[in-house]
């Protein structure tokens, strides 16, 4: 079965989407529509901006969403997913690609989510760190024993968990995880403690925005980060999407469930190739390619 997957924050790069814009009149139409909807020329930042420009959450998230969705639109009949999934932000791309959300509503939600997350990161200062080569259970146990907020945030693949929380808590967790045998504990350059309780102010803002938007039943199951199951019920999709901001991204479990459900051919749509690498580590036997 054919599955399409969509990347999240961190996949951005300067020049992203530029070739697509220049080579496809259809893509150009959609990019210019996005500039109009957002009220600023995000295309200028995507095509010519510095890495620092693109690292701003309010730019990164809509930029990656646009790159992914416009790629899907330009594929035409080649885009026939039997299931979809997205990593964190990528879940919005998956929902629009599967027609559970309109392009316009999806873009506005992504932008509002990005602004809310950036603001929450300023209210509750925090950070994230990637932990390599430790069992999930060890990471969970050490995080649970630290004072303050420190939680597993992304289960990316076996042996790679990202943790999220207060700066002091993450620093302490990194020390303890390295002492417990982690190969690396690498702090990430992010604007906040994403997918942790410190994102609660953003979750409430996102809930209001999501409640104001119309969701439809998707064309195919959408495997969501929170439930890890193929969802088709619009109300369940909305509930999971709201919960996602303060809950972990269970990517490993989602991909495993997609494969158990019959997926054997994955295509990553969007900038970079991060998800291709993660899926190969989850199951090296599936077919995997990317279109960017």
Whether residues 71 and 114 share a domain: the answer is yes
pLDDT given at position 183: 96
Residues 91 and 203 grouped into a single domain: yes
User: What region does 148 belong to: left with phi over 0, alpha with psi -120 to 50, or beta?
Assistant: left
Please say if 88 is a catalytic residue.
yes
User: What confidence score (pLDDT) does residue 289 get?
Assistant: 95
Q: What is the pLDDT of residue 57?
A: 86
In total, the chain counts a number of residues equal to: 292
Verify that 138 and 268 share a domain, yes or no: no
Give a yes or no: residue 80 inside a domain: yes
Looking at 187, 206, 235, the residue that finishes a domain is: 187
pLDDT at 159: 96
**Same domain for 266 and 182:** no
Whole domain around residue 151: which residue ranges? 127-187
Please give the pLDDT value at position 191: 85
- Report if residue 38 sits inside a domain: yes
- Final residue of a structural domain among 158, 187, 216: 187
Instruction: Please tell me whether residues 157 and 174 are part of one structural domain.
Output: yes
> Do both 77 and 183 map to the same domain?
no
**Annotated catalytic residue, options 87, 195, 254, 292:** 195
pLDDT digits (tens, 9 = 90+) for 60-81: 999 999 999 999 999 999 999 9
Regarding whether 108 and 232 lie in a shared domain, the answer is yes
Residue 211 lies in a domain: yes
Catalytic site includes residue 87:
no
Is residue 192 situated within a structural domain? no
Q: 67, 68, 87, 88: which one is catalytic? A: 88
Whether residue 139 sits in one domain with residue 77: no
Q: 98 with 136, same domain?
A: no
Q: What pLDDT, on the 0 to 100 scale, is given for residue 56?
A: 86
Q: What is the DSSP code string of the chain? A: -EEEEE--TT---TTTTHHHHHH-HHHHHHHHHHHHHHTS-HHHHHHH--HHHHHSHHHHHHHHHHHHHHHHHHHGGG---SEEEESTTHHHHHHHHTTSS-HHHHHHHHHHHHHHHHHHHHHS--EEEEEESS-HHHHHHHHHTSSS-EEEEEEEETTEEEEEE-HHHHHHHHHHHHHTT-SEEEE---SS-TTSGGGHHHHHHHHHHHHTS-----SS-EE-TTT-SEE--HHHHHHHHHHTTTS-B-HHHHHHHHHHTT--EEEEESSSSHHHHHHHHH-TTSEEEEE-
Tell whether 227 is covered by a domain.
yes
> Based on the domain organization, do 112 and 29 belong to the same domain?
yes
Q: Which pLDDT value is given to residue 190?
A: 87
CATH number at residue 103: 3.40.366.10
Q: Residues 174, 215: one domain?
A: no
Domain boundary among 149, 169, 187: 187
pLDDT value of position 55:
86
The CATH number assigned to the domain holding 153 equals: 3.30.70.250
Same domain, 208 and 279: yes
Overall number of domains in the chain:
2
pLDDT by residue for the chain (292 residues), tens only, comes to: 999 999 998 889 999 999 999 999 999 999 999 999 999 999 999 999 999 899 888 899 999 999 999 999 999 999 999 999 999 999 999 999 999 999 999 999 999 999 999 999 999 999 999 999 999 999 999 999 999 899 999 999 999 999 999 999 999 999 999 999 999 999 998 889 999 999 999 999 999 999 999 999 999 999 999 999 999 999 999 999 999 999 999 999 999 999 999 999 999 999 999 999 999 999 999 999 999 8
């Amino acid at each position: 079965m054919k599955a399409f997957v969509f990347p999240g924050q961190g996949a951005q790069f300067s020049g992203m989407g530029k070739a697509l814009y220049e080579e496809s009149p259809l893509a150009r139409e959609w990019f210019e529509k996005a500039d109009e909807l957002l009220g600023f020329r995000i295309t200028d930042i995507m095509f010519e901006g510095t890495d620092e420009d693109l690292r701003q959450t309010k730019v990164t998230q809509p930029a990656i969403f646009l790159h992914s969705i416009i790629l899907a639109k330009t594929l035409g009949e080649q885009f026939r997913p039997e299931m979809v999934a997205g990593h964190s932000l990528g879940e919005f791309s998956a929902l629009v690609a599967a027609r559970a959300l309109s392009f316009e509503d999806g873009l506005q939600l992504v932008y509002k989510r990005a602004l809310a997350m950036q603001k929450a990161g300023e209210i509750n200062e925090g950070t994230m760190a990637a932990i390599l080569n430790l069992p999930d259970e060890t990471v969970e146990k050490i995080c649970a024993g630290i004072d303050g907020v420190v939680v597993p945030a992304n289960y990316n693949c076996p042996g790679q968990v990202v943790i999220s929380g207060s700066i002091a808590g993450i620093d302490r967790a990194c020390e303890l995880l390295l002492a417990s045998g982690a190969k690396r504990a690498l702090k990430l350059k992010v604007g906040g403690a994403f997918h942790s309780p410190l994102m609660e102010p953003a979750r409430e803002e996102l809930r209001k925005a999501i409640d104001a938007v119309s969701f439809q039943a998707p064309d195919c199951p959408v495997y969501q980060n929170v439930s890890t199951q193929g969802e088709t019920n619009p109300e369940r999709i909305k509930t999971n999407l709201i919960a996602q901001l303060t809950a972990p991204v269970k990517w490993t479990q989602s991909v495993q469930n997609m494969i158990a459900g019959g997926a054997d051919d994955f295509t990553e749509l969007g900038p970079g190739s991060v998800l291709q690498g993660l899926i190969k580590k989850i199951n090296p036997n599936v077919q995997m390619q990317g279109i960017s």
